[in-house]
Amino acid sequence: MTVQINQDEALKMLEELVNIDSGSYVKEGVDRVGSYLRGLYEALGFEAEELVNTEHGNNISLKHKDAKDPEIIAIAHMDTVFPEGTAAERPFSIQGDRACGPGVIDMKASHVMLYHAVKALSEAGDESYKNIEILLTSDEEIGSVSSRRVIEAHSKTKKYALVLEPARADGSIVSARRGAGSYELEITGKAAHSGIEPDNGSSAIKELAHKIFEIEALSRPDEGLHVNVVQAGGGEAANMIAPNAHAVVDVRISKMSQGEWVDAQIRKIAEAVQVDGTTVELSGGVNRPPMEYTEGTKKMVDLITEEGSKLGLEIKHTHTGGGSDASFPAALGVDTLDGLGPVGGKQHSAEEYLETESLVARTELFINFLKRL
Ligand SMILES: [Zn+2]
């Protein structure tokens, strides 16, 4: 089946979506995007389950009314990183081959793509769209605070999870992502005059210095494990042994087992106090699991590459350090692929753009990929 996606119609929809401010903290805006999309899917025979949040936007699950137990979940977030008023300041615009505006590639264009894919399949009478659950989430950009549990609950019974983060600037899809963790150290020592009675003090900064070297030594760059002390400070006055110090530790992991190992090591280091009279308090943990490159992912990559070549598109795949919602189904053992949205770049900045031509091309690719799954 050849599908015809109307580019003008798709860009019109994109303009409407971009011009609704939907920063993660703008509940009203995220909910407006949600109602807009919900209305469109309902017109195609989908039924919505709206999971209401008081603080952030609502998460919305959509399934066709004739769907039994869909095997595929498509996940797309509605929030952006931009504050209220950004869309009024620099609304949607077309500049040459690119479309611009807040959230245009991350990921308003993905919503246009997903909707048009489902619409094209339903107009063509192809039943594949009944095999998909669509999950519109509200707070990915701030760590999926409310949506993580929803994503886990809705994806755990699925065979495939398709995450519609944009493709990389060079068009690559994403087949693995690193997981992440964050820790805070609070060290308490004992103040003393550094000139008169320095021996009566216990330096929290000296204790922190030991910790910094021990913690950073946990990095295994060759294995994709990075542990960095990214913030540190302490002390109260120029002539005082430091009674306090603190640090923030950033952890990036490529495998789940690294997360367990590094967590245990950091706790051990925190407990082993080296400067007498100081105490260390540790908080935090590994909060985003990695999306590992599994056998299942590889099969999906092969499929989409094959479908791409039929359309004359060379589809590459890549591993990236940044996190996304793809980590959650992946950690549950669901075959997951990410970066399935259109091509663009500079997300999270005012220069964010979509390669306009990729909108229709990637929609066609997505349709054919869905049919194969
Ligand atoms: Zn995103």
Q: pLDDT by residue for the chain (373 residues), tens digit each?
A: 556 789 999 999 999 999 999 999 999 999 999 999 999 999 999 999 999 999 999 999 999 999 989 999 999 999 999 999 999 999 999 999 999 999 999 999 999 999 999 999 999 988 888 999 999 999 999 989 899 999 999 999 999 999 999 999 999 999 999 999 999 999 999 999 999 999 999 999 999 999 999 999 999 999 999 999 999 999 999 999 999 999 999 999 999 999 999 999 999 999 999 999 999 999 999 988 999 999 999 999 999 999 999 999 999 999 988 888 999 999 999 999 999 999 999 999 999 999 999 999 999 999 999 999 9
Question: Which regions of the chain carry the CATH code 3.40.630.10?
Answer: 7-178+290-372
Question: Which regions of the chain carry the CATH code 3.30.70.360?
Answer: 181-288
Q: How are beta strands 98-100 and 132-137 bridged, if at all?
A: unpaired
CA of 185 to the centre of ligand 1 (A): 30
CA of 228 to the centre of ligand 1 (A): 24
- DSSP state letter for 31: H
The predicted model scores a pTM of 0.86
CA of 104 to the centre of ligand 1 (A): 10
Query: Rounded CA gap, 188 and 280, in Å?
Result: 7
Among 117, 156, 143, CA closest to 5: 117
CA of 139 to the centre of ligand 1 (A): 10
7-178+290-372: which CATH topology?
A: Aminopeptidase (3.40.630)
Tokens of 79: 């929030």
CB of 205 closer than 8 Å to CB of 242:
yes
Sorted by sequence, the CB contacts under 8 Å of residue 103 that are 6+ apart come out as 17, 18, 22, 80, 81, 82, 352
CA of 56 to the centre of ligand 1 (A): 16
Dihedral sign (CA 11, 307, 293, 221): negative
**Which one of 3.30.70.360, 3.30.390.30, 3.40.50.1100, 3.20.20.70 gives the CATH number of domain 181-288?**
3.30.70.360
CA of 140 to the centre of ligand 1 (A): 7
Q: How many C-beta atoms lie closer than 10 Å to residue 31's C-beta?
A: 22
CA of 81 to the centre of ligand 1 (A): 9
CA of 354 to the centre of ligand 1 (A): 13
Among 148, 321, 145, CA closest to 226: 321
